[in-house]
Structure 1
Amino acid sequence: MVTSIILINAERNKINEIAEKLQAITGISEVYSVSGKYDLIAIVRVKTNDDLADLVTKKMLTIGGITKTETMLAFQAFSRHDLEAMFAVGM
């Protein structure tokens, strides 16, 4: 499983429309509107890197109003439970 975080800049008057279109794409599990230098963040979970490439370069490309993206790959997930376990053993 490949998990990716995509940071998105969008035309201001199209943010909600873009978020809805992103949410409809298979592989995008969550879309957040955020403050700061990006407008939206999409959480992607797909089977392979090829699936991620297809999603970014073909499916997202069809959505008008996206002005810039930055894609980050997640290497490892840390849950609250894992962090509590580390502190319990004195790390």
Structure 2
Amino acid sequence: MVTAIILLSIEKKHINQVAEKLAAIDGLSEVYSVSGSYDIAAIARVQSNDQLSELVTQHLAQIDYILKTETMLAFRAYSKHDLEGMFSVGV
């Protein structure tokens, strides 16, 4: 499983519209409006790097009003939520 955090800068008056389109894309498990240098943070969870590449370069590229993106790959999860889930399946 490949997990990535995708940060997006959006034209201000279209943030809600873009967030709704992002939330409908398979492979994006969570979409958040955020404060700071970016407007939206999306969590991608896909099976392969090829799927991530397709998601970013094809699906996101089709959405109007996205000005800039930055994609960060996650290496390891440390949150309690993820650790509890791992132990509950006997890993």
TM-score in terms of structure 1 length: 0.87
Q: CA deviation at 1:70?
A: 0.2
Equivalent in the alignment of 1:45: 45
Percent identity between the aligned chains? Answer: 61
* Cα distance change on mapping 1:50 and 1:13 into 2, 3 Å: same
Identify unmatched segments of 5+ residues in structure 1: 84-91
How far residue 79 of structure 1 moved from its aligned partner, in angstroms, is 2.3
Q: 1:89 aligns to what? A: none
Q: CA RMSD in A?
A: 1.6
Q: Give 4+ residue runs of structure 1 displaced > 4 Å after superposition.
A: none
Aligned counterpart, 2:80: 80
The 2-side partners of 1:48 and 1:77 are apart by 17
Letter of the aligned partner of 2:64 in structure 1?
G
Structure 2: stretches of 5+ with no match in the other structure: 84-91
Matched length: 83
Q: Which residue of 2 aligns with 1:55?
A: 55
Q: Report the TM-score, using the length of structure 2 for normalisation.
A: 0.87
User: Are 2:25 and 1:16 equivalent residues in the alignment?
Assistant: no
Between the aligned partners of 2:2 and 2:71, the Cα distance in structure 1 is 12
1:81 deviation in Å?
A: 7.2
Distance between the aligned counterparts of 2:62 and 2:82, measured in 1? 39
Larger Rg: 1
